[in-house]
Structure 1
Amino acid sequence: MRSVLKEIKLSSVLLLLLGSAILAFGLYNIHSVSNVTEGGILGLTLLLEYWLGISPSVSGFVLTVLCYFWGWKLLGRLFLVYSFISSIGFSVFYRIFEQFEPLFPDIGERPLFAAVVGALFVGVSIGLCVRVGGAPTGDDALAMSLERVFPVDIQWIYLISDLTVLAASLTYIPGSKIVYSLLTVILSGQVIGLMQKVRFPFCESSFCAEK
């Protein structure tokens, strides 16, 4: 454990917290207001609830734990520590933003705009955390793990997993509502991929060195 603590860099922690703050801001002020959602584990839990009657509180917890466990086995303990920091950071920042009224209460009336702006917030924030080596959510842990196993860029892993869930969701969600979610997952995945190519001279994480 001491060896892992020695690997933790302050600059990396600050980047993780910045990414978590941006993600919390975007989800609270854009996604929660516009109802333009992402795919991934969230969409899968809703699918399981509809078809099997399994509560998202149960399926979400189990799926997230499995994703982090797999990430730990493949990416190591530093990944787990950084993921814990980013996850806690997201929860804290989201709680802070909840104390205020949404900044864009009418954005739901412009779903196309909401899908694009929401994708930018998600893409930049998660891309930043993943670049440093942390996973704010189980989806990110899964994507980072699959990138280690398969010779596929991470943006395509996000896209394939999200499209799979959204396609399955068509069994109970009208296509007119899925189309904006489809747009946001395509854009956010590409932004995450672009963030992996950005060089951060102040990032000292071993994950940055691997890119």
Structure 2
Amino acid sequence: MNWSKMNFSIKQLFFIMVGTAIYAFGLNILVIPNELMEGGVTGLALLLNYAFDLPPSYMTLIINIPLFYLGWRLFGKQSMILTIFGTVSLSVFLWLMEFSIKNQWIEPFQNNDYFLTTLYAGVASGVGLGLVFRYGGTTGGADIIARAGHKLKGWSIGKVLLAIDFVIIGVSIFYIEKEKILYTLVVVFIAARIIDFIQEGAYSAKAFTIMSEKSEEITEVISNELERGLTLFMTKGAYSKKHREAVYCVVSRREIRRMTILIKSVDPKAFIIIGDVHDVLGEGFKEEEV
């Protein structure tokens, strides 16, 4: 392995560790003391903690061991290394948090304002898992089951994950208050939104696809006024059978209105498609090392 690849691997491992540390902090300081829940294997570990007082740090790892074997057989070691690292890292940080709370080095966050607690818990879970996922890791568990189901049976990964979460959170109704389950849904929703935000990137832009008889004139105006790069490609109308050039251009959000005005000033009849673009890299946007 050359130095650049080694450097990249260290960066991945570092941010996976940071993500699992944040996630473990949220679980031990916010989720568990207030008897909230999580989905997946982590949720199962919390359920065993509420029912039998078993420590989540050990149970998370124990439940995942047979799943590691399944994943290793089905997907190969290369695919599983970061998953195993992320899961072990999570267990280690969960244990450190449990040890710190037991020795009163850290105080759990408990109050009667459950809305505030769920907000903090959702943010901590979202930021932690978002970093883990962004840098190629997972925390094992349900993700392995879902991928195995997809490979062996063709099941939808999303539906399998949803079914697992539904069962685990559903069973928790026998051990925690119904009101806490409703707050758990808020935690899951907030976490999911933040995970998407971190994975897609904080910077987002808009992509314009422009269909016009005056593509050359539009290209010239945008290039001169906005100084943005453009791409021309040939299209063929399904009904008219006519060939024409389409224009593709990515702009920042603040340039959307100006872009539209420029296009309409050249061709009021231009057909414009505007789509979301996330994490734009390159000249005129942001530069980022991978």
Could you say which TM-score interval applies, normalised by the shorter chain?
0.5 to 0.7
Query: How far does residue 191 in structure 1 lie from its aligned partner after superposition?
Result: 2.9
**Residue 84 of structure 1 corresponds to which residue in structure 2?**
84
Query: 1:19 is aligned with what amino acid?
Result: G
Displacement of 1:86 after TM fit? 2.2
Deviations 1:156-199 (A, max 9, x none): 76544322322233355442231112221233233334433235
> TM-score normalized by structure 2?
0.52
Q: Which residue of 1 aligns with 2:181?
A: 178
Cα distance, 1:74 vs. partner?
A: 4.5
Q: 1:116 to 1:34 in 2, by over 3 A?
A: same
Q: Is 2:107 the partner of 1:107? A: no
Q: Distance in 1 between matches of 2:138 and 2:167?
A: 21
Gaps of 5+ in 2: 202-278, 282-287
Asked whether the 8 Å contact 1:79–1:133 carries over to 2, the reply is no
The 1:159/1:101 distance shift into structure 2, 3 A limit, reads: same
The change in CA–CA distance for 1:63 and 1:43 in structure 2 (over 3 A counts) is same
Bigger drift between 168-177 and 24-33 goes to 168-177
Change (3 A) 1:74 1:15: farther
Distance 2:160 2:117 in 1: 23
1:54-85 per-position Cα deviation (integer Å, ceiling 9, x unaligned)? x8999866642233333334443133222232
- Closer, same or farther: CA 14–138 of 1 in aligned 2, 3 Å: same
How far apart, CA to CA, are the structure 2 residues paired with 1:23 and 1:56? 16
> Which structure has the greater CA radius of gyration?
2
Query: What is the CA RMSD across the aligned residues, in angstroms?
Result: 3.8
Which 5+ residue runs of structure 1 have no aligned equivalent? 204-211
- What letter is aligned with 2:84? F
Hey, which of these two has a bigger chunk of strand by percent? 2
Matched with 1:69 is 69
Counterparts of 1:189 and 1:157, CA distance in 2: 16
Instruction: Determine helix, strand or coil for the equivalent of 1:33.
Output: coil
Q: In structure 2, what is the equivalent of residue 187 of structure 1?
A: 190
Alignment-mate amino acid for residue 12 of structure 1: Q
- Distance in 2 between residues matched to 1:71 and 1:194, nearest whole Å: 28
User: Which segment is superposed worse, 79-88 or 27-36?
Assistant: 79-88
Paired AA for residue 82 in structure 2: Y
More helix by percentage: 1
Say whether the 8 Å CA contact 1:36–1:181 is kept in structure 2.
yes
Shift of 1:28: 2.2
The answer to whether the 8 Å contact 1:130/1:140 transfers is: no
